[in-house]
Structure 1
């Protein structure tokens, strides 16, 4: 029987990205100073994140297998059904990983307390090893977070944790017919966003404040979704009456009326579905959930 495997998901630090672009610390320092920023602050975040990754790795049981996956490698990575996933980074990194996972438990670890919101990464690095063992044995308390799925009429699909967006890849006006809650409207807008209760703590919350402040957004475990139309344009051929609402057991459906639209989830536009004229799209609650380990503090 194979030993348990811990997969540590992380993201390349700002310092590493800046060094790759500018070559030396001196050049990075000059670049940042020209923009009123400090190399010392970037180095501090880099060092704290590296220390957190080292703490998580050191805390894992010695007989476990280990793997490390950088954010850009997620789409090419193969996760085993019995893996325990430890995401070390920002809250958004948990969402980035979610679409590539199945029923594996996910432990969100915050390397920069006070910088990140900590909603999806509530745990300290020192807790990683004990939480991984508890997750493997089924002793860890889990939150079954609802996910959202896009399906097209030609069999393509995409799943996301926070939200999906359908719009123009160049952020021009998207044209489509929207069908929701038994109503239909031809629209021209900046795009349609459908989000979960987890997404209600992020981008969907910002949209709701402006567009529909009285809308009661779902909780992370609710089997419901919130939908929003961004900046619909009323014209002789398009309307702007369908703006926002909640879905419980129903779906948002679109018929594409642009040369090309895209659908992507959780801000990962590079991993997207391409939609063509006349194609039909359905956005609904996904069959699976993301199983995150709860904080007991």
Structure 2
């Protein structure tokens, strides 16, 4: 007998909750903001809207289903199961934060504060949750398969991301490494830079787009479902032993970018989650390419 689906509600601590955790009471938080020319009223209203959205979505979960909740900070310790239906209530970025821990489970994006979020990944309102949950577990349900990027180190560490993966120094330093395609046809180049960014079509509205615009790049930005990645080296500089000839490119299925560390430490993290990063040391190699896993976004 198969298990009933489990609805996993992913959310993030609100600004109001963070203020209370720091200042203890509503009054003290209000005084802190007012002394800086701000009001707590709008922060509290956004908190109330988020709580209503969470309550409405929780009420839409079928009675025969199991349920669970996980806060953003705990995602790296939460064990997702194959039968889960993941419901993200919050901002677009929260979908990306959850995506790296999934393995094909359907994801429903619910906008908790319409008008403040772009709504690229959280496209739906709390009132749509019941229909979306039904669609998530029926064969006729529609879902977009969004391309993801992965980094696989030579010690088998693996990192997934929905928007982009960044490789670089842990602070305001210079990363030294060798970079090149993993097909062996082009020799790797020794480089010194502030890091390397590899992004997807979903990430083409953020950090990847800013680099693309800055460079005036020829390749067209990919769409979220395109099996294509773009990569850029940030602020590479030439020296007698480092070059700048391989600073941008495109990766299709089966193609990879290989980086070999030539400094004490390089960190690799996805979608801005520095707290859950790979750490690579001198001599280690990491390969970047299109992930075999994609994000199933229910529509």
The equivalent residue for 2:189 is 185
Structure 1 residues 241 and 37: alpha-carbon distance in aligned structure 2, compared to 1, 3 A threshold: farther
One of 255, 264, 273 as aligned partner of 1:268: 273
1:283 pairs with 2:284: no
Contact 2:4 2:83 in 1 (8 A): no
| Equivalent residue number for residue 240 of structure 1 | 244
Any unmatched runs of 5+ in structure 1? none
1:91-240 aligned at under 5 Å gives the runs: 91-180=92-181, 182=186, 184-240=188-244
Matches within 5 A, 1:245-264: 245-249=249-253, 250-264=255-269
Moved more, 274-283 or 31-40: 31-40
Deviation string for 1:147-192 (max 9, x for gaps)?
1111111211111111111011113111111113835321111110
Deviates more, 1:101-110 or 1:31-40: 31-40
Q: CA deviation at 1:72?
A: 1.0
The answer as to 2:61 corresponding to 1:63 is no
- Please, what TM-score do these two structures have when normalized by structure 1? 0.95
- Structure 2 partner of 1:293: 298
**210-219 or 43-52, which moves further after superposition?**
210-219
Offset at residue 35 of structure 1 (A) = 3.5
The alignment's TM-score, normalised by the length of structure 2, stands at 0.94
What whole-Å deviation, never above 9, does each CA across 1:220-274 have from its counterpart, x for those lacking one? 1111111011111222222223222211131111110110111111111111111
Q: How far apart are the structure 1 equivalents of 2:20 and 2:259?
A: 44
In the other structure, the counterpart of 2:83 is 82
- For residue 19 of structure 1, give the secondary structure of its aligned residue in structure 2: helix
Mapped to 2, the partners of 1:174 and 1:139 lie a distance apart of 48
Instruction: State the shift of 1:74 in Å.
Output: 0.9
**C-alpha root-mean-square deviation of aligned residues, in Å?**
1.5
Listed as ranges, the matches of 1:5-84 within 5 Å are 5-84=6-85
SS, match of residue 288 in structure 1 = coil
Judged with a 3 Å threshold, the aligned counterparts in structure 2 of structure 1 residues 75 and 175 are, in CA distance, closer, same or farther, namely: same
Please identify, of 190-199 and 61-70, the stretch whose mean Cα deviation from structure 2 is larger.
61-70
Structure 1: distance between partners of 2:140 and 2:121:
19
How far the C-alpha of 1:203 sits from its partner, in A, is: 1.6
Query: When the two structures are aligned, how many residues end up with a matched partner?
Result: 294
